[in-house]
Amino acid sequence: MSVLTFLSDFGADSHYLASFRGAIYQADIKFPFVEITSRIEPFDIVEAAYLSTMVYKDFAPGSIHILATNVVATSFDGHLAAEYNGHYFLAPDNGILSLIFGEEFTDYYLITTESYEQKIQNVYLPLIKQLEQGKKLHEIASKAEQVNTKTRIVPVRDNEELRGTILFVDHFGNAYTNIHKEEFDKFAGESKFKINLSRHSNVSVVSNNFSDVREGDPLCYFSDHGYLVVAIKKSSAERLLNLRKYKTLVIQK
């Protein structure tokens, strides 16, 4: 079943989210509403794009994904809609969609409004209603000729090192990097390696899960979505290893 998902930096206790929910019910949107999170760090489109990239494929094709991050500050640039891998994405024109699709993607549509509109429900819900009725983007929106784009933060490597970046830290203090298993395997191959977690801590294996280590020990594993994660069993890697967002993680042969 296709759904309507919502990911934002509004905050869990914000009245903005309640207002948006109320507008959905008043508009009689039939799609089930799924809030992915409203705890994105304020204005952090990189974190929002990273989480969206990880989870959107877990929903059925035809789902609509609203990315409401850094909305008010960038709404003067307008709002965009796009279809990507069978899913619809709606977001302000602040570069967040290019972080998901890549800079080479150009098939964007402009969501038009008569004037500057701060309430995103007034921007997105009329278009969602038409998508729900089976209409296509090219039938209800005009092609965007120019959009704001951002460059992805990607791992870099040479023969000796693979350097990634922490892009998200979850509720448990587990640090998620931008190093995908495919990238890691290309670098490491059959060679021995060392993942430097802090000045005095490193690991030389990638664990399958938390049962591979003792309580209090650090570990690295690949998430269900394929990205390298640094954790400490029953503790916080963020706190004990000082693994903050945008910190570099170095893997050496």
CATH for 189: 2.40.30.90
Cα-based distances in Å from 174 to 42, 59, 181, 183, 240: 20, 24, 17, 20, 11
Half-sphere exposure of 55 (CA within 13 A, CB side): 18
Q: Do residues 117 and 192 both lie within one domain?
A: no
Q: Do residues 98 and 207 both lie within one domain?
A: no
Q: Do residues 124 and 53 both lie within one domain?
A: yes
**End residue of a domain, out of 143, 165, 191:** 143
Q: Do residues 172 and 213 both lie within one domain?
A: yes
Residue 61 has what pLDDT?
96
Q: What is the bridge-based pairing of β-strands 4-8 and 64-68?
A: parallel
Name the 3-class secondary structure at 29: coil
pLDDT tens profile 221-252: 999 999 999 999 999 999 999 999 999 999 99
Residue 148 lies in a domain: no
Structure tokens at 175: 């640090």
Contacts with 36 (C-beta within 8 Å, 6 or more apart), sequence order: 5, 6, 7, 51, 52, 55
Name the 3-class secondary structure at 189: coil
pTM of the entire structure?
0.92
Q: Which amino acid is at 77?
A: D
* Domain count along the chain: 2
Residue 16 has what pLDDT?
87
Q: Do residues 108 and 226 both lie within one domain?
A: no
d(CA 116, CA 251): 47
Q: Do residues 63 and 130 both lie within one domain?
A: yes
Domain span at residue 61? 4-143
Averaged pLDDT, groups of 10, the chain, 253 residues long: 95 87 93 95 96 96 96 74 98 96 96 72 93 94 94 95 98 97 95 94 96 97 97 97 96 96
